[in-house]
Copies of this chain bind each other. A is one copy, B any other.
Amino acid sequence: MSITIKDVARAANVSYSTVSRALKNSPKISAKTTEKIRRIAKELNYIPNAVARELSSQKTTTVGFIYNIGTHKSNLDPIMEGIEETVAKEGFQLLSFNSRENLKTEHNYLRFLHEKRAEGILIFPVITEEGSNLSYLKSLIKGNIPVVVIDRYFPELDTDYVVSDNFGGAYEATAHLIKLGHRRIGYITGQEYQTSVYDRLEGYKKALEDHRIIYQKELIKKVAPKLPSSIEEGWRATKDLLKERPTAIFTYNEIATVGALKAIREEGINVPEDLAFIGFDEVAVASHIFMPLTVVMQQAYKIGEMGARMIIERVKHLHQKKDCLETRHISVKTKLLVRDSCGAKLKGRMKVNLEGDIDGFNS
């Protein structure tokens, strides 16, 4: 087939173990020989066979990443970038696959990576009402293949994970609206079996509680998990919500944000004068053509970077056969990006109106 190390050895008139060593710059081989071998290898256009290398050396320096596009979108790319760059920096290789929010597909990729002898697995897992591949993950871990969960987590699984501080992000956004004087803050949420969705809702509730605002069920509207896109759901939920006359709306993700903005625009409501708006996650297109949105930003690159670091640390640890590492749970802070849609920049003007509202409702 193609040129092997033996062909190079023959051409250089050395044994093939010498070629192998020269090509990886072993100090055992003299500079002269090394240089000659490298030159000949290049002349022959020798491409090492990674398959043979992996089999022989019993290591693949490969980590797998299974992600999941379905609900969530724009964050993924910087997460991947963070992972790719970190993994490369550590001299590892990354194999990534999109499970498309499908349990069976995810299972197939896990199996694939297992057969390929990936040394560690990063996963942004599928978690649906029907379940998850938790048991497969457990079997990987039992078989000494470390797993780091990204962006979601399994409360039942004692493994490393890195997520955004969803609770804190939602808390901060809600508190921000409260500080601007809002008391009737609507929240568009999703399916609570997703840990991130659950945690955001809790953050919202806690912010209300800490500011002595009574949580009102009718100000929470839930979107159904309709795939591929539930923009229509976000739109419907917002239409419903608007009947409750909130003075502010907070949406739990990008899709909901788009649906909400559509509804708001249809109703002819002015943002932020008549309604303050904050979304979880930036929607760049909307910020450009609708108005600069106040959003909770996730540090997606950092999430990827931390996840990659964790998995590689574990893999290296395993190579050295040291004692087991502690499990680590990392929560990456979010940032509230205050722009136009929340009305903070109009605060002076709005205060009166809102405080009037407050008096009417609260005192």
Residues of A within 8 A of B (CB): 1-2, 45, 47-52, 54-55, 58, 60, 69, 77, 80-81, 84, 93, 95-98, 100, 111-112, 114-117, 139, 143, 229, 231, 235, 258-259, 261-262, 265, 283-286, 288-290
CB nearest neighbor in B for A84: B98
Q: A52-B55, A60-B51, A286-B289 are in contact. Are A93 and B117 (CB under 8 A)?
A: no
Identical copies of this chain, number: 2
Query: In whole Å, how far is A137's beta carbon from the nearest beta carbon of chain B?
Result: 14
CA distance A313 to B273 in the complex (A): 60
**Which of B50, B229, B288 interacts with A115 by CB under 8 Å?**
B50
Is A288 in contact with B258, judged by CB distance below 8 angstroms? yes
A81 x B100 contact (CB < 8 A): yes
Q: How far is the CA of A259 from the CA of B285 in the complex (A)?
A: 9
Assuming A47-B114, A117-B49, is B288 touching A289 (CB within 8 A)? no
Instruction: State A289–B80 Cα separation when bound (angstroms).
Output: 28
A284–B100 Cα gap in the complex (Å)? 19
A115 and B261 in contact, given A55-B55, A58-B1, A98-B80 (Cβ under 8 angstroms): no
What residues of chain B lie closer than 8 Å to A259, measured between beta carbons? 288
Are the CB atoms of A117 and B258 closer together than 8 Å? Answer: no
Neighbour of A45 across the interface among B47, B139, B284, B290, CB < 8 A: B139
Residues of B within 8 A of A262 (CB): 288-289
Q: Is the CB–CB distance between A51 and B285 below 8 Å? A: no
Contact of B58 with A69 in the complex, beta carbons under 8 Å: no
Known: A45-B139, A265-B289. 11 other contacts (CB 8 A): A1-B58, A47-B114, A49-B55, A49-B117, A81-B100, A84-B98, A95-B95, A231-B288, A258-B288, A261-B288, A261-B289
Give min CB distance, A23 to chain B, whole Å: 12
Are B47 and A51 neighbours in the complex by a CB distance under 8 Å? no
